[in-house]
Amino acid sequence: MKLLLDTHLLLWAAGSPGQLPATARILMEDLQNELLFSAASLWEIVIKRSLGRSDFQVDARVLRRGLLDNGYQELAITSEHAVFIDSLPLLHKDPFDRILVAQATVEGITLLTADVLVAQYPGPVQQV
């Protein structure tokens, strides 16, 4: 199964694995699953770090390299992903989360999230 991790799960996996929910850890450790990260997550980290958010104090370049070195696949943002956002209900206003939902839906992959609001979207979203 292909799994797209939301930004917080990526940050926890890379820097604070103890914060990962048990379900996420089990899915991520299953060698049958392919783990993906979105360019949108790195974009979110860069922006929120520049705004001084204490929960986003990682170097996105180092995180990206570490994810790639550990077998994660990078998912680029396409125009198809962008226009799909228009069909999503406005359950959550965070544009980064909305593009992750759109990517997962368009690509037919499961988005893993710990966010209760994101988990309410229809489609391939799984709360962990």
Three-state DSSP class for residue 92: coil
pLDDT at 92 over 90: no
Rg (CA), the chain: 14
- Exposed, middle or buried: residue 62 (CB in 10 Å: 0-12, 13-18, 19+)? exposed
pTM of the full structure: 0.93
Residues 6+ apart with CB under 8 A from 19: 12
> Are the CB atoms for 114 and 8 separated by under 8 Å?
yes
Question: What is the torsional sign of CA 50, 55, 57, 63?
Answer: negative
What percent of the chain shows pLDDT beyond 70?
100
Q: What is the pLDDT of residues 13-57, one digit of tens each?
A: 988 889 999 999 999 999 999 999 999 999 999 999 988 888 888
